[in-house]
Amino acid sequence: MAHAETVAASSETGQRVEYELQLYYWMKLIRAFEERVSRLHRQNKILGGVYSGAGQEAVVTGVCAPLRPGDFVAPLHRDLGVFLVRGVDPGRLMAQLMGKETGLSRGKDSFLHGGDLEHHVFGSTSMLGSSLPVAAGAALKFQIKKEAQVAVGFFGEGASSRGDVHEAMNFAGVRKLPVVFVCENNRYAYSTPLDKQMAIENVAERAAAYGFKGHVVSGNDLLAVVQLAEKVIRRVREGGGPELIECKTYRYRGHSEHDAALYRDKEELLEWQSRDPIPRYEFYLEKKGHDVKRIREEIDERTRAVLQQAVEFAEQSPMPAPEEALEDLYAPAPMNSARDGRA
């Protein structure tokens, strides 16, 4: 019996170590992907806007890591990492950014609106915050069908002032829907500083008005995010109703590649860069006894290979054919439908 318990404990420990290293890989891959996209944008190879999430990798990694297949995620324009963590092929994602036929929307939209329903990732919209009612709708479907799935809706502190965000949270609270609302509070709604955006310190304080719990966590601390997300997602999945997680973080780049972010103080940027989530997590791994230098080198090589393959796939993919421009405007007609009399 003692031997069996030792083996079980060893297996559990091994799984945890593998999980922790996978979290590190995801953050490194997201950062490397973002940096490569920025370079490709300067080479005029990216179609549409580029909205970097550099500095916010711990948020999407920590929230998405505990999710299961079939869970629904509605990301923001800055949440490229959601696609990677949820298992979307990096090549298809890069092709989407380049407007190629092999992209998620077959070259008919920019990354901003791209989604992948195969991986249950909903495409964002330009009206940030409008995805939250969709996340609430997905959660309502899970509730009606008694499915043990959860929906996650990302939004920013700026979007929290929008009416549809209020409506989604109010409806979710009333119906006790299995949805997690995640606020990526990076202190600037495009260029509006936090103190001119809202009169309270924490977006999470608003959760009480909708009848559910709100939590504040450092969005630059991967461990803190993933530990909180694990608990919240478990409670929501078990029927505890919605909850809100506010991640305090910071975006390193401007709103988009064309924004020099001159409205920000340089000292503020340096202060937040000193809290970078990647070296912070490396410090944790080192204290646990890992050879961080070796792990970093191995993962850097792995991400380089993944990115090179993704870029080559995207660049070699064809542009969408003009005659296909009017396809995909409507959902395909149902097959074998008794209602319309077809066999």
Would you kindly state where each structural domain of the chain is located, as residue ranges? 17-317
222 pLDDT above the threshold of 80:
yes
Residue 153 CA to residue 135 CA, distance in Å, equals 6
Instruction: Tabulate helix, strand, coil % of the chain (nearest 5).
Output: 50, 10, 40
Please tell me the distance from the alpha carbon of residue 98 to that of residue 107, in angstroms, as a whole number. Answer: 8
CA distance 144 to 48: 38
For residue 321, pLDDT over 60 is answered with yes
The CA-based dihedral angle spanning residues 223, 136, 241, 163, taken in that order and rounded to the nearest 10 degrees: 90
Can you point out the beta strands (E) in 283-328?
none
Return the minimum-mean-pLDDT range out of 12-26, 208-222, 305-319.
12-26
Q: How distant, in Å, are the alpha carbons of 154, 181, 248, 260, 307 from that of 199?
A: 21, 20, 16, 27, 42
pLDDT at 173 over 90: yes
Phi, psi dihedrals of residue 248, rounded to the nearest 5°: -80, 115
Q: What is the pLDDT of residue 95?
A: 96
Q: Residue 261 pLDDT > 90, yes or no? A: no
Is the pLDDT confidence value at 260 over 90?
A: no
Q: How far is CA 167 from CA 122, 181, 186, in A?
A: 19, 13, 23
Supply the pLDDT for residue 342: 45
pLDDT, one tens digit per residue, over 109-161 is 877 788 999 999 998 877 888 999 999 999 999 999 999 999 999 999 988 98
Q: Determine the 3-state secondary structure of 240 from DSSP.
A: coil
Q: State mean pLDDT over 220-242.
A: 98
User: Taking all residues of the chain, what is their mean pLDDT, rounded to a whole number?
Assistant: 91
Q: Please state which of the four CATH numbers 3.90.79.10, 3.40.50.12280, 2.40.50.140, 3.40.50.970 is assigned to the domain occupying 17-317.
A: 3.40.50.970
